[in-house]
Amino acid sequence: MATREAFLAKVRAAQPPARPCPDVPLFNTAGGDLRARFTAVLQAMGGTCVEAATASEVSALIRERFGDAVSIASASLEVPGTRALTADTEPASLQDVDVGVVRARFGVAETGSVWFSEREYVVNALGYIVQHLIVLLDPAHLIDGLQDVYRRDDFRDARYAALVTGPSATADIEGVLIRGAQGVRSLTVVWLAA
């Protein structure tokens, strides 16, 4: 493409003299109890953590909190939804769903984040278009920090990957914190072994 060649030529001509790329080391981390650290940071970011022994406990938890008439779209085979969810489901069709359920591939202790790709979500929009998100997380799948997360291969295969930390939020008006800006109003991590 003529445009592309001219574009790159202009950039190349403008470049300052070459600088080497620094080596990025792995830094010592806080270590310690990953689950406790994760929980503390997630709570500060507006999320909550609960425990469940079985998947059916999760269903009970949802009904208890949101009522029996709750609509659920579940990307997890463990927890049944009231709405079918397949790779062919139109994202927009989920706009009236109350609760989404999805299992995270792993969590990050440093930031209280959970990680999803299209494989976990089944429908990517699930994580954002529903009103509340329930995240299943195996406590054995906790990674210390972002420096470790970004050395993993998970990002290479994923078409879409997200580190999600607590519910949607904004403080754009007078610095007042609002939960549930455009995305989910609440995010609950349920400790449940995979």
Partner 1 sequence: MSRIDHAKAAGAFIKKTEHVAFHDKRLWDLREKRDAQAHGIAEWETLRELASGIKEHTLSHLADYLEQFAAAAEANGVVVHWAATAEEHNALVHEIMSGRGMTTLVKSKSMLTDECKMREYLEPRGITVMETDLGERIQQLDHQDPSHMVVPAVHKLRADVAELFGRTIGTDPKNSDIHYLAESQRMNTRPYFVREKTAGMTGCNFAVAETGTVVVCTNEGNADLSANVPPLHIASIGIEKLIPKVSDLGVFIRMLSRSALGSPITQYTSHFRAPRPGTEMHFILVDHGRSERLAMEDFWYSLKCIRCGACMNTCPVYRRSGGLSYGGTYSGPIGAIINPTFDLKRYSALPFASTLNGSCTNVCPVKINIHEQIYKWRTVIAERHEVPFVKQEVLKMAGRLLASPTLYRATVSSMGGALRHLPNFVLYNPLNIWGKQRELPEAPKLTFHAWYKKNRGGGDGNA
Binding of residue 82 to partner 1 (CB under 8 A) = no
- C-alpha to C-alpha distance for 51 and 66, rounded to whole angstroms: 17
Binding of residue 64 to partner 1 (CB under 8 A) = no
Q: How many residues bind partner 1 (CB under 8 A)?
A: 75
Closer to partner 1 at the Cβ: 63 or 142? 142
Closer to partner 1 at the Cβ: 62 or 123? 123
The pairing of strands 106-108 and 113-117 is antiparallel
- C-alpha to C-alpha distance for 92 and 157, rounded to whole angstroms: 25
Residue from 95, 140, 193, 194 that binds partner 1 (CB under 8 A)? Answer: 95
What angle (nearest 5°) sits at the alpha carbon of residue 136, between those of residues 71 and 120?
80
Q: Which stretch binds partner 1 (CB under 8 A): 50-58, 68-76, 77-85, 181-189?
A: 181-189
Binding of residue 71 to partner 1 (CB under 8 A) = no
Give the contacts of 136 (CB within 8 A, at least 6 positions apart).
58, 76, 78, 79, 101, 102, 103, 104, 190, 192, 194
Binding of residue 68 to partner 1 (CB under 8 A) = no
Q: Compute the least distance from the CB of residue 56 to partner 1, in Å.
A: 29
Binding of residue 144 to partner 1 (CB under 8 A) = no
DSSP conformation letters of 82-139: SB---TTS-GGGGTT-SEEEEE-SEEETTTTEEEEEHHHHSSTTHHHHSSEEEEEE-G
Q: Which stretch binds partner 1 (CB under 8 A): 39-47, 66-74, 77-85, 99-107?
A: 39-47
Binding of residue 162 to partner 1 (CB under 8 A) = yes
Residue from 128, 139, 142, 191 that binds partner 1 (CB under 8 A)? Answer: 128
